[in-house]
Amino acid sequence: MNIDQHLTFREIMRQQHGWLKALGALAGEKERLSDLLERYRDREWVFSGCGTSFYLAQTASQLFGRLSGFRTRALPASEILIFPDAAIPRRDDCLLVAISRSGTTTEMVLAEKKAREELGVPTLAVSCEQEADLAGNSLHRLAFPFQREESVVMTGSFTTMLLSIVALAARVSGPERAPARFDALPAASEAVMMAHKSLMKEIADQADLRDFVFLGQGPYFGLANEAALKMQEMAIVSSLSFHCLEYRHGPMSTVTPNTLITILASHAGKILEKNLVRDMKQLGARLLVLHTHEADWVSEWADWQVRVDGDVQDFLTPFLYMPVLQLLGYYKALAKGINPDTPQNLSQVVTL
C-alpha cells in the first residue's frame, strides 16, 4: 500500500485544516462560551478521559489552568467510576470536563453519568461526535465540526479537541497570557510537520533503535504519554514516558545505544532539560530534541532535532510538536511492515 493510502497518514496530514473549522465554529459561540466560563470560574475544572483522551486531559488541564487562572486537574474516567469519593471529594466545587473522540467510550459515558446523576456535579462534554451519548447527556458541551476519523488510532482528534479547550481558556486569559497567534497556528504547525516529515522517517528507519522513551514536563508530559502510546499502538514497540527529570530517578538505568530518548523541551525548563540531554547522551542514548531554543547545545548533544518558532511560548508549542510525533509512530510502523490503520488487539471504541 502506498503511504498516502493509509487512513492514519491522511488523518495526520489533514488535521490543521480541521483546526481552522473548529476555531471558526467556536468564535461563533462567543456569548454562550463566555457565560459558561463565568458560571464556573470559581470551581475546579476536572479534565477526564481514557487512553489518548486522558493524555489529552493531562495537557488540557495544564494549558487551560495557565491561560484562564482557573483551578484544574486531570484524572482517568475509571477513577470516577471506581473511587468517586477520592476522585471528586468536593462535589459542589468542581466541573467535570468529559473528553471522548467517539462520545461512546463506556468508561467516560458512565463516569459522566455518575458525576452528573449521583454526585450532582455539572458536566461539560468535549467530543468529535455531537450526536453521541456523551454530548447528548452532558449538561454542557463544546461543539465544533470535525471530519470523522476512520483509523483506530487518534491523531487529528487529539489536537482538535485540545485546541478547542485552549481556545475556550483564551477567552478569559489576560493579555499577558493570551496566545497572540491562534489564527496563524494551523499554517505554522503544518509547516513544521512538512519540514520534518522526512526526518521522522529517517529516524524510524533506524533498525537498531528498539526502545523508545518520551520525556516532557508540565503541558508536555501529556504529550510525552501520548507520543509513547502512538508508538505502542502503531508500531507495536516498547515505549515509555516520564517527566523529564523523573527519568534520572531509576529509569535511566535501562539506557543503551538502542534507546531513542525524545525530549519535548520547554521554555520554563531549558537549563535543567539541557543538562538532561547532555547526561543521557553521555550514557549512550540517541537523542531527538523538540525545542524552541536558539542554542548550540542542542546541535552538540542531540542526534536529531526539531526546532520550532519560540514566539508561541509553551501555550501553543504542543500543537507544533504533536503532529511530528504522530508521524514518528506512523513511520516506525511502516519500517516494521505493520499496517498502522489496524493495530493488533485494538478497536476504535472501547466498550466494556
Confidence of residue 163 (pLDDT cuts 50, 70, 90): very high
To which CATH superfamily is domain 3-170 assigned? Glucose-6-phosphate isomerase like protein; domain 1 (3.40.50.10490)
pLDDT at 350 over 70: no
Domain ranges of the chain: 3-170, 185-335
In terms of residues, how long is the chain? 352
> HSE on the CB side for 151, CA within 13 Å?
22
Q: Please provide the average confidence, as pLDDT, over all residues in the chain.
A: 91
Q: What's the pLDDT tens digit per position in 312-340?
A: 667 889 999 999 999 999 999 999 999 99
pLDDT score at 195 = 97
pLDDT at 42 over 60: yes
pLDDT score at 322 = 98
The percentage of residues in the chain with a pLDDT greater than 90, rounded to a whole number, is: 75
Q: Are 288 and 202 in contact (CB under 8 A)?
A: no
Q: Are 234 and 331 in contact (CB under 8 A)?
A: no
What would the grid cell of residue 271 be?
A: 537549563
Same topology for domains 3-170 and 185-335, yes or no? Answer: yes
Confidence of residue 175 (pLDDT cuts 50, 70, 90): low
pLDDT score at 349 = 56
Q: Tell me the torsion sign for CA atoms 114, 230, 252, 244.
A: negative
Q: Are 97 and 67 in contact (CB under 8 A)?
A: no
Q: Which fold has domain 185-335?
A: Rossmann fold (3.40.50)
Section 181-204 average pLDDT: 93
Q: Are 215 and 261 in contact (CB under 8 A)?
A: yes
In angstroms, the first-to-last Cα distance of the chain is: 33
Task: Enter the pTM of the model.
Answer: 0.94
Can you name the residues that pair with 215 across neighbouring β-strands? 242, 263
pLDDT score at 5 = 79
What would the grid cell of residue 243 be?
A: 517527566
What amino acid occupies position 3? I
pLDDT at 61 over 70: yes
Residues 183-218 as b/e (b if ≥16 CB within 10 A, e otherwise) read: eebbebbbebbeebbebbbebbeeeebebbbbbbbb
CA dist 262 and 212 (Å) reads 8
pLDDT at 227 over 60: yes
